[in-house]
Amino acid sequence: MKNKGFILWLTGLSGAGKTTISKALAPALQERGCQVELLDGDLVRTHLSKGLSFTKEDRDTNIRRIGFVAHLLSRNGVVVIVAAISPYRATRNEVRQMEPNFVEVYVQTPLEVCEGRDVKGLYAKARAGEIKGFTGIDDPYEEPLNPEIICNTTKETVETSVENVISKLEHLGYL
């Protein structure tokens, strides 16, 4: 049976683990016969959203573009994994309105853990005032109120998060 497309939307702070979990999810979904595309926020900003800033308006434009492309792919049967901070609840919900097959995954890692990891050294720069408007420091992050899935990366390994996502997708009838 051909799998139907859907959007698996990972939201969370910088360094929460969105990219890491997405990259581990992709092969797990492919093994289950899915065609998978990964839209990673960092990469999108070098192509589709090149030139956009981190103001609320440009962040929203970025998310709407990602949502639009993800929707085009998913309606053609592709499972689209999106890994993007996507800090604004209303904008994420706009994508949800456009795409009925939308699964929100909250990668719930506390700010202090993300900052402690500081994978890209960005938190240090934000604290030093070298980056303005950094999510979680001097820019908002609005947590999802009813995400389909929560990955708690302080309690779970990446493998456990992947297993939880897959089993939830089975439960929801996507796999």
Q: Is 19 in the site for ligand ADP (CB under 6 A)?
A: yes
Applying CB under 6 A, the span of 9-17, 25-33, 63-71, 128-136 interacting with ligand ADP comes to 9-17
CB-wise, 72 or 143, nearer to ligand ADP?
143
Q: How far apart are CA 12 and CA 104, in angstroms?
A: 11
Q: Is 144 in the site for ligand ADP (CB under 6 A)?
A: no
Q: Tell me how far, at minimum, the Cβ of 99 lies from ligand ADP, in Å.
A: 21
CB-wise, 18 or 71, nearer to ligand ADP?
18
CB-wise, 5 or 12, nearer to ligand ADP?
12
> Looking at this protein, which amino acid is placed at residue 134?
F
| List of residues 6+ apart from 131 with CB closer than 8 A | 122, 125
Q: Tell me how far, at minimum, the Cβ of 160 lies from ligand ADP, in Å.
A: 8
CB-wise, 73 or 83, nearer to ligand ADP?
83
The binding track of 104-143 with respect to ligand ADP, each residue x by CB under 6 A or -, is: ---x---------x-x------------------------
Residues with a catalytic annotation lie at: 86
Task: Give which of 96, 111, 87, 156 is closest to 15, Cα–Cα.
Answer: 111
| List of residues 6+ apart from 78 with CB closer than 8 A | 5, 35, 36, 37
Rounded alpha-carbon distances, angstroms, from residue 43 to 49, 79, 120, 157, 171: 9, 18, 14, 24, 31
Q: How far apart are CA 29 and CA 166, in angstroms?
A: 8
Go through the chain and tell me how many residues it has: 175
Q: Tell me how far, at minimum, the Cβ of 107 lies from ligand ADP, in Å.
A: 6
Interface residue list for ligand ADP (CB under 6 A): 12, 14-21, 83, 107, 117, 119, 153, 156-158, 161
